[in-house]
Structure 1
Amino acid sequence: MASTGKTVASAQDPTTSILHHPYTRAALPFVNGGLAGMTATAVVQPIDMIKVRLQLAGEGVREGTRPTALSVTRDIVKAGRVLDLYTGLSAGILRQAVYTTARLGFFDTFMGYLNTRAQVAERKVTFGERAAAGLAAGGIAAMVGNPADLSLIRMQADGLKPPEARANYRSVFDALFRISKNEGITALWAGAFPTVVRAMALNLGQLAFFSESKSQLKARTNLSPRSQTFAASAIAGFFASFLSLPFDFIKTRLQKQQRDPKTGQLPYKGVLDCARKVARDEGLLRFYRGFGTYYVRIAPHAMVTLIVADYLNFLTK
């Protein structure tokens, strides 16, 4: 009987279950991060669509009517194309499956290492270490996710072209195939540099400031854990938006551009050329056009992502 009891106890021991297998534990931050990111993208996709249209409107023109988030939304609805607000959803989901999976997975992995090292040294993880973890995780994830990100921009920008010039991509996979076939496989990494810089700035603002804000709120306030998460997400969303929007703007312009059919030339030669031309022709404030929309996209996305990730981490403890 003793042997049987021991066997039953061993079978029920959570450390022997597949969920607590070392390989599973290593993969869970990536899986939970990806699922959280895809959930958040499905929620905020219409806001992202409006943000991209705002960034592409009035390209090369300093004066003229300035579109707003409301006017862009109204134009789409008036044209009877409400579903256009979800244009590129498949690309957005694929991007999160790749980008956020890597971003949150690497960040949690790096933070686990930093926490262990800090405990051994009998100290707390510093903001600088959190920032370094966020920058590294964002940069690595952005390189991996650039093809899906580029496809998302192309699909969202397609509706701005005359009907006869539209590519009418059927899905993200159709976009990936046609772009690589017509422009070469390296075209899928167009705008990779600003994408990486944008991701590093975004992660610095989002993950590092979220982690630091939550730590400070826990130590200095009596807010409930849920309130701490919401407050820290709002703070992190602001810094993530402020630090990353100029790079996001340049990334969008570079990923949207295509060669002129007559001259074979691209509108922009690179990051610096794009920044110089936008500043000269459209003004410096153009880099922050749509900041409110961008913040409204970043903050809820961060909240949903982090809340879902926390819940998934709780379920898979």
Structure 2
Amino acid sequence: MSSNTLKQAAEAARTKSSTMGKQGSETAVAAVGTDFLHTPVMRAALPFLNGGLSGMVATTVIQPVDMIKVRLQLAGEGVASGPKPTPLSVTRDILAQGKVLDLYTGLSAGLLRQAVYTTARLGFFDTFMKSLAARAQENGTQVSFAERAGAGLMAGGIAAFVGNPADLALIRMQSDGLKPVAERKNYKSVIDALSTIVKGEGVTALWAGAAPTVVRAMSLNLGQLAFFSEAKAQLKERTAWSPQSQTLTASAIAGFFASFLSLPFDFVKTRLQKQQRGPDGKLPYKSMTDCFVKVTRQEGLTRFYRGFGTYYVRIAPHAMVTLIVVDYLGWLTK
């Protein structure tokens, strides 16, 4: 065998050894990454992490619509007649008083709320659903709509109570611009809003409006998560659509039911969280029930659904973005 042939053989062996070593190293790194994602702690934490991230992405997109929705709900408080604001007129007023970035007032509170509330509600819902699916598989049955609804109600209620302080700070920051200039708090951030509330009203004030917040979240989750889960299951069984089309359609259906079921409670929550004591030391509303009764008598029953279009435009895309992102993150972290 010639010396050139020996050199070529040796070079080929070195190249092959180097390639195999590199591939082995990459495989080992990939295995470590995969193993980390599949540790018991990470498997339990991922639904919560994915839920929080998806909610924060959706809130960043939808925040201006939420700002307009809150201003619509607070307009004409205590008066049945008078001018009827529209989303367009509210937007014009906000822009006339400041600048485009004013539409993002309270974004820090909105992101904190998602980091707490959506992390908890989607995390708990996913955890509950996995438990129900495992039980159904053992019994040779399928998860029923009633079980999906129960999981959504429980997840929403728990998450809403935990996230109420951030929700309260968001409402206070968004409604601050409606006050006379001399009475405005001009909150610098969500931390500033929370500390101001605690100093002026006490720690328990952070849970003002907690009852309608919890009921709203339960009704919203019933509409959003239960109907999304059910619609997606039905579309998967009855259509040959792509997974992306199924997710998009199911999230649109879920957005409508979430909006319709939760808007009255969202309205009351906004009124209760915005209220502050008057010169006589009394609050305008004593409770969720009192707010329902007074608004019905003074402003009419239809007032609870004022701004339904804006609310749907806020809830449906938020639900769609959240559910699509959480689906994608779930696929990435399988």
State the match for 2:56 in structure 1: 38
Answering whether residue 329 of structure 2 is matched by residue 284 of structure 1, we say: no
In the alignment, structure 2 segments of 5+ residues that lack a partner are 1-23
Q: Which moved more, 1:220-229 or 1:42-51?
A: 220-229
Among 316, 319, 324, the alignment partner of 1:302 is 319
Following TM superposition, by how much is the alpha carbon of 1:220 offset from its aligned partner in structure 2, in angstroms?
A: 1.5
State the match for 1:171 in structure 2: 189
Deviation >4 Å, runs of 4+: 7-16
Following TM superposition, by how much is the alpha carbon of 1:10 offset from its aligned partner in structure 2, in angstroms?
A: 7.9
d(CA) in 2 for partners of 1:12, 1:41: 33
Assess, with a 3 A threshold, how the Cα gap between structure 1 residues 12 and 157 changes in structure 2: closer, same or farther. closer
Q: TM-score, normalised by structure 2?
A: 0.90
Amino acid at match of 1:77: L
Q: Which moved more, 1:105-114 or 1:216-225?
A: 216-225
Q: Computing the radius of gyration over CA atoms, which structure comes out larger, 1 or 2?
A: 2
1:150-229 equivalent positions in 2, closer than 5 A: 150-229=168-247
Amino acid at match of 2:268: I
d(CA) in 1 for partners of 2:80, 2:32: 63
State the match for 2:19 in structure 1: none
Q: TM-score, normalised by structure 1?
A: 0.95
State the match for 2:5 in structure 1: none
d(CA) in 1 for partners of 2:38, 2:239: 34
d(CA) in 1 for partners of 2:172, 2:149: 31
SS of the counterpart of 1:17?
helix
Conserved 8 A contact 1:249-1:287: yes
Amino acid at match of 2:194: L
- Partner deviation per Cα, 1:132-185 (whole Å, 9 max, x = no partner): 000000000000000000000000000000100001000000000010111000
d(CA) in 2 for partners of 1:282, 1:292: 19
Among 233, 248, 251, the alignment partner of 1:233 is 251
SS of the counterpart of 1:78?
helix
In the alignment, structure 1 segments of 5+ residues that lack a partner are 1-6
- Partner deviation per Cα, 1:62-116 (whole Å, 9 max, x = no partner): 0011001111011112234321110000000000000000000000000000000
How many pairs does the alignment contain?
311
d(CA) in 2 for partners of 1:29, 1:194: 26
Amino acid at match of 1:301: H
State the match for 1:114 in structure 2: 132
Amino acid at match of 1:311: Y
